[in-house]
Structure formats: C-alpha cells, structure tokens
Structure 1
C-alpha cells in the first residue's frame, strides 16, 4: 500500500503499482491482504481503494480478489456482499482472531461469508499471524459444504498441513503464501500456485513458468531467492517494509513509508536490498 511521506494513502502511486503488476503478467491480484496493511486503513480509504482496484483489474485479464478482514460475522457478511456487488472476481476471508474466538465461531464466520455470495472465496489460514489454529478436518468440512471454497495456507512450514488437506480433497484449490518460501514444495504435492508480495512478482512468475516447463532453472532461482526471503520473512512488518523499499528503489512507487508501528530497516538491510536487485537484474532507479 503506497503512502506519502506524511502517511496519507498515495492513490496515484496505487494506480501506478496496479498498472505495473498487470503489465508484468501476474495471473491475479489481491487487495487487503496482510501485506496491504489493511489493519492500518480507514473505511473511507478502503472504499476508494476497492473501487480503483476493481475498475483497473476489470479492464484487464487479471483476476481480482478482495479480502474480507472484519472480525464481526455480521459486518463481514455485509462487506462480502458489497465487494461482490462492486465486481470482485473472488473474495479472501481472514478468519476472526481478535480475543481468540472458539473454532465454532471461526467456522461459523467463514461459512456465513461463503453463504452470502456466489463468487469463490479463498480461506486464508495464517496461524502464526492470527494465533488461531484450524484443524484440517474443519477446512474439509467447509469445502464439502461449499466446493467453491479455496485455501491459502500460510503455516510455517505448510507441507504436512497441505498434504493432509489434499489427501482428503485432492481436487481442492490450494495456494501457498508466506512469501513463497515453500512455493516449489507445495507445487510438487499438488498446490495450484503462490500468493507472495508484489515488489518482485516477475521473479515468482519466472520460477513458476520454468517449473511448469520442467526447467531446472526453477529450483536454481528459487534457491537464490530463498537467500533473501528467508531472512525477510522473519517478521511480517519486516518484509512489508522491505517490499515497499524495493518498489521505491525500482521507481514503481515514490515512497516507502509504512504506517506505524512499522519495522525500520538497517544499513545492512539496505545493502541486502541493493544486492538483491543486482543479482536478479531488476531495474533500479534509486540507490538511497
């Protein structure tokens, strides 16, 4: 989410970022994921961003997904209906986690969002970030009731969990997040794709296409990428700041401000980012 140096949403930068990502060849874009700093946005800002997001993606071949992050079931249902009416191709739902609700309430929340709309809904399972654990059997039960449910698994590591889910429902659509740390392992066991951040999407695309083509470069380049993202994914605020700084250095957005609380980068981080840009030959307009 681009912000000005004073902390205001940079809507022009947002539009420019969307244009860059659409031109890069990504298959889909998601708004209001954790990397979007959804928890630091006002409702007024979210409304304008959602309208811009849908308008821009509708004019392209890119699949649009908007995340429903409200903790109240009633509000989440209203939000889901609104985003569907707005024109989103799909929704993502972040299960409620504030004050540690019981699994019964979490499951009820997810099912209510699915029942409220007719478009696919991606269930985001991020136990490290939300501190909410959901057993595989619970996701299977949700899928059996709503086969248009899809899953984004961000457990760390996710392989055992995804393997159990796909063993029970091999036809289910399962994606992996977590900056793509386990991208190739998940594809190996039947996952359908990766949902990383957006500052170096071209690298993920290249790895994905090489993987589909059976080229060894997929694993070679993913291994090179791991040298950086393994460190950056130690903290969500850390990689959000890194990704935003990468976007600024590439000249895609004007500033790398993160609304506070945020994760200030060290000189070592800045040097690592420059090394990363050079190693993957990503265009860089600014060295500072």
Structure 2
C-alpha cells in the first residue's frame, strides 16, 4: 500500500520503546510456506507470524535467506509484508525488520523507502554481491540506502559465506560515523565472534546480532552480541537459551545450546538444507500443511527426516504442537 509519508515523519512517530531496543534478544527470520503445487500459503504465513510473535520475541525479520526471498515474486513479497505488518504496525512491543536485497542501488532506495512508508520499524540491508561489485561500489550502495531512509534505523547484514561480499569492521564504522542510522550489524561470518568484538572496538562502537542459526552463539554472546536472528521453526528453544544468558545463567544457556548444536551445525552445511529442515519441523508442529520448497531446493533424505524427528523428540518440552 503506497503512502506519501516520508522517513522523517515516520521516525518522529516511532513508539516507545525504540525499535533498536526491541531487536535485542531473539529476532527470528520468518519462513514462507508453500502449497504442494508451489503457491504461497498466505494463511500458513499468517499462522507463522502469530505463533512467532506469541513465543516471547520483540522483533522479527522478513524476508531473509530462511524466507527463500530469492524465490518470491515482487507481488508475493509485497503481500507477505502486508500480512506481517497487520500484526506489528500498531503494536508498541514488537518491531518489524523488513529486508532490502535489491542489487541495483536505485531499486534498493525505492524499495527501502516504500517499506518504511508501509510501516517497517527497521530496514535490514543486504549489500549487493551479484557479479562481484567493487568495494567502492558496495560502500556507495550502502550509503545511498542509509541516506534514503534516515533517520530510520538500518541493520547492515554481513553474510560473506552466502554472498562473498567482504566488509571489514573499520569500513562499517566509517559508514556509521557518517550515517548514525546504521544501528546494528547482523554478523554471519564463520566464526562471528572476532568480527563482533572488532565492531565493538570501533569508534563509534557498533552493536551486533548474530545470524547463521546461532551455531556459535555462546562465543558471540561472550564477545558482545546483543541478539540473534535464527530461523523461526524452533523459536522457543532460542528464547530459552537467551533467557538463561540474560538471567546470569551462562552454564545453563551453554548446555541447552550444546544439545542444539549437533542439529543446527549439520543443517547449516547448506542454506537450502536448513530451509528444508525448518519447514518440515514447522509442518510436524502443525504450523502449516506442506514442507514444499520451491525448486531448486534440497530434498531431505531418510536419515535427515529421522534427524528432524529426533530433534523434535529431544526438544518436545520446548516445541509442543502449535495451537493457533
């Protein structure tokens, strides 16, 4: 839905608490269910949104790699964003982080402005990577989008494993000095800890959330991560891990993460693998009907399906069947 409201007007109307504080903790990336015939299951997505927002989180991100953003049409994406914003636009206790992954700078600017106008609380910006743009071109792209939506806060996504784009901490800090709305960095390097610490050591000090399913979460927390952005099928497990960290129970948090690690470390061997695994988990829990992924996709084999069933059995206390 189009609107003439500009970023400055929207920012002045931001609710309290501010959206940056709402991103702390667990901020799941929402998945997109499809039917067996590869159509978007909008009702299923609505159930995903309602379930995740009811699991004790204060922000969600959409769309990301876990959402199969690269397999959605512009119309589908816009409609899905509308479904999400219906649940977040009027709530002071949750923030919607909406993603801009456009490669062309002019398209990224237009897209980011429209998302802000529609009700995004923060913008997640994935720098361009197709055909290996130069570092100067990447910096120019990021600066242009930051300018376009200022003062609305932006999360800069650093995902070298998925994109090959390389940004060092000093470069990101230089961007933040000129653009105060560069509020957070989503770190998905492997491992992420050293980069998170390097961001904190910059001037200005930069806060980070960790992605990559939280495989290295305990180390990331020790080095200063203020939150994490996993997929959404097992949100309750991540919420409990984070609760223990915040409650001053690092041993308990690390122990629960240790139980989770054999599963997520395997699933994160391939992005398409963890997408397929998370969808089957959600189907098993009753969130939507089909675990279909649009092709090309990873086809789970018998052992991988058995692994998911073991996972659900082990974490049954945290992941009951969904009743929405």
TM-score by length of 1: 0.96
**In structure 1, what is the equivalent of residue 264 of structure 2?**
229
Return the offset for 1:169.
Answer: 4.0
1:248 aligns with 2:283: yes
1:16 aligns with 2:47: yes
1:96 aligns with 2:128: yes
Q: Secondary structure at the match of 1:214?
A: coil
Return the offset for 1:171.
Answer: 3.8
**In structure 1, what is the equivalent of residue 99 of structure 2?**
67
Supply the distance in 2 between the matched residues of 1:128 and 1:98 (Cα, whole angstroms): 14
Supply the distance in 2 between the matched residues of 1:184 and 1:202 (Cα, whole angstroms): 17
Unaligned residue ranges in structure 2 (runs of 5+): 1-31
Determine which of 194, 198, 202 is the counterpart of 1:160: 194
Supply the distance in 1 between the matched residues of 2:276 and 2:230 (Cα, whole angstroms): 14
Q: Where do 1:36-115 residues align within 5 Å? A: 36-60=67-91, 61-115=93-147
Q: Where do 1:110-129 residues align within 5 Å? A: 110-117=142-149, 118-129=151-162
TM-score by length of 2: 0.86
Answer yes or no: is the 8 Å Cα contact 1:179–1:233 preserved in 2: yes
1:148 aligns with 2:181: yes
Q: Secondary structure at the match of 2:60?
A: strand
**In structure 1, what is the equivalent of residue 35 of structure 2?**
4
Return the offset for 1:147.
Answer: 2.3
**In structure 2, what is the equivalent of residue 283 of structure 1?**
320
Supply the distance in 2 between the matched residues of 1:164 and 1:28 (Cα, whole angstroms): 25
Deviates more, 1:50-59 or 1:250-259: 50-59
Unaligned residue ranges in structure 1 (runs of 5+): none
Q: Secondary structure at the match of 1:124?
A: strand
Supply the RMSD in Å over aligned alpha carbons: 1.2
Return the offset for 1:36.
Answer: 0.7
Return the offset for 1:76.
Answer: 0.2
* Aligned residue pair count: 285
**In structure 2, what is the equivalent of residue 31 of structure 1?**
62
**In structure 2, what is the equivalent of residue 206 of structure 1?**
240
Q: Where do 1:186-201 residues align within 5 Å? A: 186-201=220-235
Q: Secondary structure at the match of 2:201?
A: helix
